[in-house]
Amino acid sequence: SDLQKQEERGELLQPLIFVLLVLCSVLLYFKVSLMDPGFVKPEEEDKEGENKGQGVVTPQIPGDVKLWRCGYCLVKQPMRAKHCQLCQHCVRRYDHHCPWLENCVGERNHPLFIVYLSVQLVVLLWGGHVAWSGLYFEQSWEWLQHNIFLLVSFLLIFIFTIVVLLLLVSHLYLISCNTTTWEFMSHHRISYLRHSELENPFDQGIILNLWRFFC
């Protein structure tokens, strides 16, 4: 049959890989959105050395910088944590609250968030290629009627691809500097950065920053 011939020629492999990538991106979306991003729990606030297992290096805190209790959830905030008004929790190594995920991006789910963006970018690029390959251009109303769906699909995929690409590149840049979106945007308002002698006391070089983040 035609299906068997296509299978023998390997023509069914690419659609199968594409479907698996889409499924993987959906699973990653739910994983990142439903998992604990690193909420600070009251029973864990006095534990020492917890960050060692996460590969996070804590710099020397200047003498005039004091860690305080959160005014909302009353837990002692570790360094780089921030209270999220939407999640109603303090989040370790807080990066940002993602409205698309309805969850914070923090210490525990940030690496998976990067993986999710990477897989999503591949899916969008592949989908954009498929949509573009199905277009043939003619200057006629009849052509527009027959191809309007493919044209709109390609434009939407192009816009989403640009957004995801910019997100991924910006996050990889911040990770390579060992900083977070919150620290980058609010450097002047964060006490342990404002009073630090170094502009970024967490930076240990690109290679070590990436290694500690992903490994």
Residue 205 zone, left/alpha/beta (φ > 0; ψ -120 to 50; rest): left
Q: What per-residue confidence (pLDDT) applies to 77? A: 86
Work out the pLDDT band at 64, boundaries 50, 70, 90: low
Average pLDDT over residues 139-166: 83
Check if 104 is active-site: no
Q: Tokens in use for 39?
A: 């909420």
In 4-117, the DSSP E strands lie at 82-84, 89-91, 96-98, 103-105
Active-site residue identified among 84, 90, 98, 104: 98
Work out the pLDDT band at 50, boundaries 50, 70, 90: very low
Inter-residue contact 53 to 190 (CB < 8 Å): no
pTM for the structure as a whole? 0.81
Amino acid at position 95, single letter: D
Work out the pLDDT band at 53, boundaries 50, 70, 90: very low
Lowest mean pLDDT among 67-71, 77-81, 108-112, 192-196: 67-71
Torsion angle (degrees, nearest 10) of CA 132, 136, 140, 141: -50
Q: How far apart are CA 105 and CA 94, in angstroms?
A: 7
Q: What per-residue confidence (pLDDT) applies to 34? A: 96
Q: What per-residue confidence (pLDDT) applies to 159? A: 95
Q: How far apart are CA 205 and CA 107, in angstroms?
A: 19
Q: What per-residue confidence (pLDDT) applies to 21? A: 95
Inter-residue contact 202 to 179 (CB < 8 Å): yes
Amino acid at position 110, single letter: H
Q: Tokens in use for 34?
A: 């439903």
Work out the pLDDT band at 33, boundaries 50, 70, 90: very high
Q: What per-residue confidence (pLDDT) applies to 55? A: 42
Average pLDDT over residues 173-197: 90
Q: How far apart are CA 171 and CA 183, in angstroms?
A: 12
| Straight-line distance from the first to the last Cα atom of the chain, in angstroms, rounded to the nearest whole number | 48
Alpha-helical segments (H) within 67-204: 110-133, 141-176, 181-185, 191-194
